[in-house]
Amino acid sequence: MCFDNKNSYWIDSFIKKYEESFKKVDLLDRKSEYWRFASPSIWYDNYINKKLPSEKQIENFSFNYDGMTDFFIKFKDGMLDISSLTELNKDEKNIEVSSYKDAVTNENHWSSKKFGLAQTNAEKPYKRPLALFNGLDSREGVFIKFKKGMRKKFHIIYEGNEQKKSTIRNLFDFEEDVDITIIEHFYGDSKYNIVSEFFNDKNSKIEHIKIINQDITDTFIYHLFGNCQKNSNIKAINFSFSENPVRNEVNLHLEGPECNATVASLGFGQKATSICDNTVFISHQEESSKSRQIIKNALSGGAKAIFQGKIYVSSVAQKTDGYQMSNGLILTDNCQFLVKPELEIYADDVVCSHGSISGTLNDDHLFYLQSRGIPLLEAQKQLIQAFFAEILNEINDEKVINHIQKQISIKLA
Amino acid sequence: MFEIQNLHVNISEVDKKIIDGINLKINPGEVHAIMGPNGSGKSTLSYTLSGKDGYQVINGDIKLDDESILELEADERAAKGIFLAFQYPIEIPGVGNLSFMRTALNSQRKYNGNSELNPAEFLKVLKEKANNLNIDMEMLKRPLNVGFSGGEKKRNEILQMALLEPRFCVLDETDSGLDVDAMKQVSNGVNSLRSDNRSFLIITHYQRLLNYIKPDFVHIMAKGKIIKTAGPELAIEVEEHGYTHLLT
């Protein structure tokens, strides 16, 4: 690895640390529970060495951004469009925004005290090799401090061409009492490896929505590492429509008491090339926090989905309320939904549960709809939409809901 | 006219014959009731008429206006005007009641060559039907039958019947699970839908439902056959003496 001379000491020391850790990780260790259902080569080799067969997409998957007063940040082919930060920079009272490059070349940048901490929390018991690689490879990203009490919605739009790599590192620092929604939109003929670190201060309310549109033609890897303080509230919701490998890792460290965390994912794969892998770890470190994991995948055409989810409760995290449910809707008989739910509990006064149900469409439901004149295909569509409804109910943004319903409809057409 | 001719039905899953030669003619405007003990094949008949998979007609025919409907799928039969009010209406989380009803109505309109109703037109029609049946529109904003009381579920079935305006309605033990007041409400709804060109087949165990929905004919079904047909007085006879004396 060749370090940039302009880099600050703090980022160079992180890169060096990541490099050392990365060398120690056996990427091909298929015995590791971390890679239990999908070989690491699917992610690492695909991202580095291969171009997956790319099919030109003719549908318009674009989100309807018309009439919005939200903030927008844009990336193209892995590069931050600096001009897209202009509007954000005007709101200095509420936000402080830097590109990755500006942040890591500033020895005294505010992010130097935060960078890497959430990822470090997530590295027990498993190193996160794809995130380590991101740490070595990323040269782009956006670092934002959301100042106390700010309320705003942000869209981050990623587009790509020619299956170029987009290795991006973001850092979001949410101060007390903020109410922020971040919607990340991923489009195009591109590979993605994104790491976002979230630092959620007291009483913050964060909604993070990620939409992986179906025109993504190559490997997609995303890590969300979150540190959550007292009475903070976070929702991390993933929508995946890609027909290529997607690895979505969410690791939330509930450091303060009375946190509330929801991780939800909707995946819809229709081809044998489709892998939707959700690897989720929620760590309860203090009392009286709640967490929910809700994972739903509809699968046909040989598609595969994976859910590895853990609720960890430390010995002092009494009154923890943890819930985890994964559902697979198997629409054709050559699909797989592979699930490894886990509870690791060291406190004795907690309520934690997990469950997983997979099956086909319910014949009685289909008959009921048909008995009212709804043709079989339309009845199947309605029931697939209904299967996903629990995830859509997690969000209030009508535009997002309409976009997701449109994506599902395109898949069902 | 709705006609069942020498109908024999197997349930495919268990390969067992349940209906063993039923003949029945129901003219427009008529209300027929079928009564019978448990296991006599009443619900099998209702599912067979409405086209549920797994109910295999091995002999005979079912005709609507002299045309066989045996080859039609359940949705096609519905669009032709056959409606089954379920004994246990299915709860379907995630499917909105309003959206379901609009899809159902428009599917039937499309099948019959009529233009589909836009949301505003649909709501106008639905509100009118709901008002006639004293149904609160709030109930319709919930997911289909989810969390509904027994009475609400049955009233929702009657509302669907009113909305879809079928020509032939099968009510499969609509009285089951209803208290007296709910049964009166549901019966009033059904009675308001009686007309010269709509016929009903009411399946029930008990005579009490027939106090509210007066049938023209009562049939007793046992072991997959209709063993006796008479006027409404037959239902009273069953109530007083049970089925045993009719079966011997």
Q: What is the pLDDT of residues A308-356, one digit of tens each?
A: 999 999 999 999 999 999 999 999 999 999 999 999 999 999 999 999 9
pLDDT for B47-57, tens place per residue?
999 999 999 99
Q: Hey, what amino acid is at B108? A: Q
Sorting pLDDT into bands at 50, 70 and 90, what band is A2? very low
More confident residue, B134 or A28: B134
Across chain B, the runs of DSSP E, i.e. the strands, are: 2-11, 16-26, 31-35, 55-64, 67-68, 82-85, 92-96, 143-144, 168-172, 199-204, 217-222, 225-230
Domains and CATH numbers, chain B: 2-247 (3.40.50.300)
Domain presence at residue A87: yes
Helix ranges, B114-232 (H): 119-132, 137-140, 150-164, 180-193, 208-212
B85, B157 Cβ separation under 8 angstroms: yes
Residue A338, domain extent: 9-361
3-state helix, strand, coil in chain A (%, to 5): 25, 40, 35
Q: What phi and psi, each to the nearest 5 degrees, are found at residue A116?
A: 85, -15
- Which chain B residue is nearest to residue A388, measuring alpha carbons? B94
Contact A260, A230 (CB under 8 A): no
- In the prediction, which pLDDT does A3 show? 46
Which amino acid would we find at residue A209? I
Closest CA to A68 of A387, A413, A295, A403: A403
Tens digits of per-residue pLDDT, A253-297? Answer: 999 999 999 999 999 999 999 999 999 999 999 999 999 999 999
Of A371, A385, A390, the CB nearest to B78: A371
Q: Is residue A412 part of a domain?
A: no
Averaged pLDDT for residues A88-112: 96
- Whether A409 is covered by a domain: the verdict is no
- Band of the pLDDT at A1, cuts 50, 70, 90? very low
Distance CA B13, CA B11 (A): 6
Bond from prior residue into B37 cis (ω within 30 degrees of 0)? no
Contact: A375, B93; criterion CB under 8 Å: no
Of A280, A276, A303, which is closest to residue A122 (Cα–Cα)? A280
**Residue count of chain A:** 413
Question: Minimal Cα distance from B50: which residue of A?
Answer: A371
Indicate the residue type of B34. Answer: I
Query: Measured between alpha carbons, how far is B200 from A317 in angstroms, rounded to an integer?
Result: 62
Q: Which residues of A touch B114 (CB under 8 A)?
A: none
Chain B neighbors of A378, CB-CB under 8 A: 103, 107
Q: Quote the percentage of chain A above a pLDDT of 70.
A: 96
Q: Nearest Cα to A222, choosing from A250, A182, A198?
A: A250
Structure confidence by residue, pLDDT tens digits, B109-155: 999 999 999 999 999 999 999 998 888 888 899 999 999 999 999 99
- A176 belongs to a structural domain: yes
Q: How do strand B55-64 and strand B2-11 relate by DSSP bridges?
A: antiparallel
Asked if B8 and B57 count as a contact pair (C-beta separation under 8 A), the reply is yes
Write the residue in B75, B92, B108 that is nearest to A386 by C-beta.
B92
Determine contact: A383 vs chain B, CB below 8 A: yes
In-domain check, residue A372: no
Residue B245 CB neighbour total at 10 angstroms: 9
Which residues, listed in sequence order, are joined to residue A247 by a DSSP beta bridge?
A: A221, A277
User: Contact, A100 vs A141, CB < 8 A?
Assistant: yes
Asked whether A92 and A227 are in contact (CB, 8 A), the reply is no
Total domains in chain A come to 1
Q: What average pLDDT does range A96-123 have in this prediction?
A: 96
Residue A378 lies in a domain: no
Amino acid at A148: K
Burial of A197 (0-12, 13-18, 19+ CB in 10 A): buried
In a domain, A402, yes or no: no
Please report the pLDDT score of residue A58 as a whole number. 57
Inter-chain contact B51–A371, Cβ cutoff 8 Å? Answer: yes
- The residue of chain B with its CA nearest to that of A375 is B75
pLDDT digit string, tens, across residues A180-210? 999 999 998 889 999 999 999 999 999 999 9
Say how far apart CA A193 and CA A161 lie, in whole Å.
15
Comparing CA positions, the residue from A407, A310, A312 lying closest to residue A60 is A407
Q: First vs last Cα of chain A: how many Å apart? A: 47
Residues of chain B with a CB closer than 8 angstroms to some CB in chain A: 50-53, 73-75, 78-79, 83-84, 86, 89-90, 92-95, 100-101, 103-105, 107-108, 111, 143, 160, 164
The predicted model gives B37-43 an average pLDDT of 92
